[in-house]
């Protein structure tokens, strides 16, 4: 239940700790002086559970683990901190350092880039972008080394490389996988986008496509990652679903237009998926060899057509980050900032034993509604800006006609 709980504001001053927190922090300091592991770590576990907003707790915990050469555990602790508090430079600094020590260069690159994306106006934003680029180069060098040593099967967790099943043209070999990863997110996204476009039934109505692209482009203008070639495609499917491939390739079902009540709600859905791309979540799963393990199986299209829908199984931490950034993007684009929140509430209220596919991979709606409400209030995002009900209703009616015509055609066959 706590995955999407509202977090306290980060703080650094030990004077602000609760009485219990002060005791834990003092015991930890004594443990450091006495060099007793039991007194160093147990109090910090209690402290971070009691007051997770106390940033020095993560920093001291990480430093103590590094001193003992427990690098993997240090990565876990500092990553917990940056996930909860992605806007704190001291945490990001240490996270990048520790990820480098663990030779997790891709993760270090993403950690630095995510700070810059969340905080484009921060005085250190450019510095973190440079760090991101440096670590990306290290990651690519690592991949080249693996290729040179003919150790391709070890480049990705899972000897098969990353393999798309279903009717999208068969598997890609481990060698091809590694070469694709070296070329980056844009190329990975392009390869699989082309495969999906060859097989999936698509909405070709120019009025609908123009609407989706107009909404999407409005969001990407403020989303960052200008190096991406953003694309928006509409799959002829009545279920509410959307997904993002690496490099900003966004797919949305026609049903997502049909089942949202306003342009702001639909934009909230797109902003969330755009955020997954901006934060490199899909690419991260791919590099971990999870495109097979972490992707919901391709689901046969209603009516028996040979098409499938791709859904990444993101972690709760990734979902929190996409909620956070997506709401900021929505607000910065001029939409009512509660579009995503309203969509989650609408879906959560539906008494449906078979929830929309998108909702089934984005669980915990009740807590997320509360979390999104707090996010909007704490950041003073405007809930009373553009809703776009009239235009959205017109496009919904057009989509309903298209889906009805498709269903009629299937019945005739």
Contact call for residues 217 and 230 (beta carbons, < 8 A): yes
pLDDT on residue 88: 94
pLDDT on residue 302: 30
Q: Which of 51-65, 151-165, 294-308 has the highest mean pLDDT?
A: 51-65
Q: What is the CA radius of gyration of the chain?
A: 23
pLDDT on residue 150: 44
Q: Does domain 8-139 have CATH number 1.10.10.10?
A: no
Q: Kindly report the length of the chain.
A: 413
Contact call for residues 217 and 248 (beta carbons, < 8 A): no
Name the DSSP letter for residue 155: T
Closest CA to 301 of 201, 392, 398: 201
pLDDT on residue 364: 64
Q: Which of 234-248, 306-320, 344-358 has the highest mean pLDDT?
A: 234-248
pLDDT on residue 94: 97
Distance CA 131, CA 109 (A): 7
Q: E-assigned strands of 17-173?
A: none
Contact call for residues 4 and 320 (beta carbons, < 8 A): yes
Q: Which residues are paired to 202 by β-bridges?
A: 235
Buried b (16+ CB within 10 A) or exposed e, 223-244: bbbeebebbbbbbbbbbbbbbb
Cα atoms found within 13 Å of the Cα of residue 136, Cβ hemisphere only? 18
Contact call for residues 72 and 64 (beta carbons, < 8 A): no
pLDDT on residue 384: 83
Task: Quickly list H helices, 229-309.
Answer: 254-258, 263-278, 281-287, 290-293
- 320's CB contacts (< 8 A; 6+ apart) are 3, 4, 83, 371
Contact call for residues 326 and 340 (beta carbons, < 8 A): yes
Distance CA 66, CA 299 (A): 45
The answer to whether residue 278 scores a pLDDT higher than 80 is yes
pLDDT on residue 182: 64
By the 10 Å C-beta count (0-12 exposed, 13-18 middle, 19+ buried), 413 is classed as exposed
With the C-alpha atoms ordered 23, 26, 32, 35, is the resulting torsion angle positive or negative?
Answer: negative
pLDDT band at 130 (very low <50, low <70, confident <90, very high): very high
Please report, for the chain, the start and end positions of each structural domain, with discontinuous segments joined by +. Answer: 8-139, 174-412
pLDDT band at 303 (very low <50, low <70, confident <90, very high): very low
Task: Quickly list H helices, 333-388.
Answer: 339-349, 357-360, 365-378
Q: Which residues are paired to 235 by β-bridges?
A: 202, 253
Q: Which of 28-42, 178-192, 321-335 has the highest mean pLDDT?
A: 28-42
pLDDT on residue 5: 54
């Amino acid at each position: 239940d706590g995955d999407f709980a509202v977090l306290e504001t980060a703080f650094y001053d030990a004077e602000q700790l609760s009485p219990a927190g002060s005791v834990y922090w003092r015991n930890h300091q004594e443990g450091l002086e006495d060099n007793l592991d039991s007194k160093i770590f147990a109090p910090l576990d209690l402290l971070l559970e009691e007051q997770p907003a106390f940033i020095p707790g993560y920093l001291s915990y990480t430093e103590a683990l590094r001193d003992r050469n427990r690098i993997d555990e240090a990565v876990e602790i500092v990553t917990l901190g940056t996930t909860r508090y992605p806007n704190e430079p001291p945490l990001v600094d240490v996270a990048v350092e520790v990820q480098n020590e663990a030779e997790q260069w891709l993760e270090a690159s993403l950690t630095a880039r995510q700070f810059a994306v969340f905080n484009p106006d921060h005085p250190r934003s450019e510095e973190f972008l440079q760090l991101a680029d440096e670590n990306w180069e290290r990651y690519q060098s690592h991949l080249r080394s693996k290729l040179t040593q003919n150790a391709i099967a070890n480049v990705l967790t899972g000897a098969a490389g990353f393999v798309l099943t279903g009717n999208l043209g068969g598997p890609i070999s481990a060698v091809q996988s590694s070469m694709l990863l070296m070329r980056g997110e844009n190329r990975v996204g392009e390869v699989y986008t082309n495969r999906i476009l060859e097989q999936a039934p698509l909405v070709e109505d120019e009025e609908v496509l123009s609407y989706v692209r107009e909404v999407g482009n409005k969001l990407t203008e403020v989303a960052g990652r200008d190096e991406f070639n953003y694309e928006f495609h509409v799959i002829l499917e009545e279920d509410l679903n959307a997904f993002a491939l690496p490099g900003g390739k966004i797919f949305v079902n026609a049903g997502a237009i049909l089942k949202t009540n306003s342009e702001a709600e639909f934009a909230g859905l797109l902003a969330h998926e755009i955020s997954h791309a901006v934060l490199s979540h899909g690419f991260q799963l791919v590099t971990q060899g999870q495109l097979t393990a972490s992707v919901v199986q391709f689901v046969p299209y209603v009516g028996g057509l040979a098409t499938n829908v791709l859904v990444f199984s993101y972690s709760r931490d990734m979902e929190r980050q996409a909620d956070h950034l997506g709401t900021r993007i929505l607000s910065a684009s001029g939409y009512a900032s509660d579009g995503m929140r309203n969509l989650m509430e609408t879906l959560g209220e539906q008494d449906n034993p078979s929830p929309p596919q998108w909702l089934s991979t984005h669980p915990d709606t009740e807590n997320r509604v509360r979390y999104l409400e707090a996010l909007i209030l704490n950041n003073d995002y405007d809930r009373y800006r553009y809703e776009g009900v009239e235009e959205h209703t017109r496009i919904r009616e057009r989509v309903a006609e298209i889906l009805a015509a498709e269903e009629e055609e299937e019945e005739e066959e």
